Amino acid sequence: MTPEADDRVVCVIGAGYVGLVTAAGLAERGREVRVVEVDPERRAAVAAGRSPIHEPGLDGLLGVVVGSGRLRAVETMSEGVAGAGVVIVAVGTPPTPEGAADLSQVLQAVDEAVHHAAPGAVVAIKSTVPPGTTRALTRDSRRDDITFVMFPEFLREGSALEDLRNPSRVVVGGEDGAAVQRVVALLGGPDTPRLLCDSVSAELIKYGSNAFLATKISFINEMAQLCELTGADIEKVADGMGLDPRIGRSFLSAGLGWGGSCFPKDVRALETSAGYHGQSFWLLKAAIEVNSQQRRRFTAKLLHGLGGSLEGRRVAILGLAFKPLTDDMRQAPALEVVRQLEDLGAVVVATDPVALDRARPLLPRTTLVADPYEAVTGADAVGLVTEWPAYRELDWGRVIGLMGGRLVVDGRNCLDGRAITGGGGIYVSMGRRTRGLPPQAPGATAEGISFGAVPPLPLG
Ligand code: UDX
């Protein structure tokens, strides 16, 4: 007999970043949580109370909630959803070749979940899906005793647990008010802002948030280029703009641009989705182009800093993960940059505190080493790609001494330019003003090297 839906029991489908963090967080809050995961290795790790991904705090929390029996990893959907009051769908929506969101995993998960779900269960879509998806799932559902809501996530990798424990807002979209309330009750505290709306708006809140933040970053990256052309300092410009509370300083860090599992895919999906509805979302097209330009600008700084040819030159890359505190290599700027450098003939040695294992199959031509001092030894140039705090703390005098050349290109504006020039290096940034640094090498000016408008890369 099918058990009745019980809201104390939550089923999470998919033990990826979002699913696993959500599941662990809900178990911590006292729910009985089951995670359905098809990948045997991932499932075995969770079942053993270990995190299969590098996310601060997650390993420890999984140990506790799995140990206490509040979280269980299961293989089959029937086991996972049996009796669950809320079923959270947190499977991937990877991009199709056209840039749309591939919904096949969502559709399959929903199909199976609906088959086994208890009467009265709510299916909450946490996967990022295009506008209209949740409504279509409701329309096409074989069961009218099950309700669908859109329950977008706003977790940042590296601080996902913190974001889950103290969410900036809880958004739930759906046409059935009671179902929406049951899902709202899962997260947040009495002071957490809640926004309840229709499902299409909830879907667009998720896309709009990511696309807006990505556009904000692309905007500051264009400003950084203008700073180089005019002699302004992007950090001062961002600080000054950010003091306006309507703008805010966050997401105004210029550099190599946005990567990761969400921004690139979601910006493209929103732009493609707008296209399906006959709209050309010009701002997003530009944000995407600027983002790819940032990678080329960085490579060009290395190319031109080394005299216009990278053939046989040794370049050390510091940082591979798409951002610090994660080992996630999805859409990491390092992948594009390293490939560009290698296509231009450079010999690349790269390092990262945690992402080497994930990077290895993606960068077959690259030498990967764990020790940053080993990576820079004999290098003609060093390029910083991920702003791990440990790289700022390096003994830059020692680094320059170990290098064969002296060029350091800081793709995240996170290094102390003075420490580098003080050690005899040449410091190049992404729009920072370096005037006032001690005299630099022949060929460099007291302002550091400023390439202004970077010429195109001679790539095929
Ligand atoms: C993002 C959203 O922030 C989160 O709400 C959503 O749920 C998932 O996507 P995440 O991908 O973990 O989270 O990374 P985030 O910290 O937002 O950074 C995204 C990218 O932008 C990174 O590549 C980061 O390096 C870059 N970035 C961020 C900048 O280049 N400049 C900035 O000022 C901020």
Percent of the chain with pLDDT over 90: 92
Band (pLDDT 50/70/90 cuts) for residue 459 is: low
| CB-ligand 1 contact for 319 (6 Å cutoff) | no
pLDDT, tens only, 274-324: 999 999 999 999 999 999 999 999 999 999 999 999 999 999 999 999 999
Token readout for 63 is: 């140990």
Domains and CATH numbers, the chain: 6-197 (3.40.50.720), 207-283 (1.10.1040.10), 289-449 (3.40.50.720)
Tell me how far the alpha carbon of residue 25 lies from the centroid of ligand 1, in angstroms: 21
Tell me how far the alpha carbon of residue 50 lies from the centroid of ligand 1, in angstroms: 25
Tell me how far the alpha carbon of residue 287 lies from the centroid of ligand 1, in angstroms: 14
Q: Closest ligand 1 atom, CA of 252? A: 33
Q: Closest ligand 1 atom, CA of 217? A: 31
Percent of the chain with pLDDT over 70: 94
Closest among 90, 95, 156, 146 to 122, alpha carbons compared: 146
Band (pLDDT 50/70/90 cuts) for residue 451 is: very low
Query: What count of other Cβ atoms lies within 10 Å of the Cβ of residue 84?
Result: 28
| CB-ligand 1 contact for 398 (6 Å cutoff) | no
Tell me how far the alpha carbon of residue 171 lies from the centroid of ligand 1, in angstroms: 19
Q: Closest ligand 1 atom, CA of 152? A: 7
Distance CA 233, CA 223 (A): 10
Tell me how far the alpha carbon of residue 274 lies from the centroid of ligand 1, in angstroms: 22
Q: What is the pLDDT of residue 90?
A: 98
Token readout for 155 is: 């977790």
Q: What is the pLDDT of residue 4?
A: 85
SS3 336: helix
Q: What is the pTM of this model?
A: 0.93
Q: Whose CA is nearest to atom 31 of ligand 1?
A: 253
Tell me how far the alpha carbon of residue 358 lies from the centroid of ligand 1, in angstroms: 19
Distance CA 385, CA 405 (A): 18
| CB-ligand 1 contact for 263 (6 Å cutoff) | yes
pLDDT, tens only, 49-91: 999 998 999 999 999 999 999 999 999 999 999 999 999 999 9
pLDDT, tens only, 406-445: 999 999 999 999 999 999 999 999 999 975 443 334 344 4
Under 8 Å between Cβ of 410 and 418:
no
Q: What is the pLDDT of residue 455?
A: 56
- Backbone φ, ψ for residue 176 (5° rounding): -105, 105
Write out the DSSP string of 113-179: HHHHPPTT-EEEE-S---TTHHHHHHHH-S-TTSEEEE----PPTTSHHHHHHS-S-EEEE-S-HHH
Mutational test site, ligand 1, from 151, 217, 252, 267, max ligand atoms within 8 Å of CB: 217
| CB-ligand 1 contact for 211 (6 Å cutoff) | no
Distance CA 22, CA 4 (A): 23
Q: Which residues contact 385 (CB under 8 A, 6 or more apart)?
A: 256, 298, 317, 318, 319, 320, 332, 333, 334, 337, 411, 412
CA–CA distance from 186 to each of 137, 190, 434, 460 (Å)? 22, 12, 49, 52
Query: What count of other Cβ atoms lies within 10 Å of the Cβ of residue 389?
Result: 10
Q: Closest ligand 1 atom, CA of 251? A: 33
Q: What is the pLDDT of residue 188?
A: 83
Q: Does the pLDDT of residue 226 top 90, yes or no?
A: yes
Q: What is the pLDDT of residue 119?
A: 97
Measure CA of the first residue to CA of the last residue in the chain; give whole Å.
Answer: 64
Mind telling me the catalytic residues?
Answer: 262
Q: Which residues contact 89 (CB under 8 A, 6 or more apart)?
A: 13, 14, 106, 109, 110, 113, 123, 124, 125, 126, 127
| CB-ligand 1 contact for 262 (6 Å cutoff) | yes
Region 251-275: what's the mean pLDDT? 97
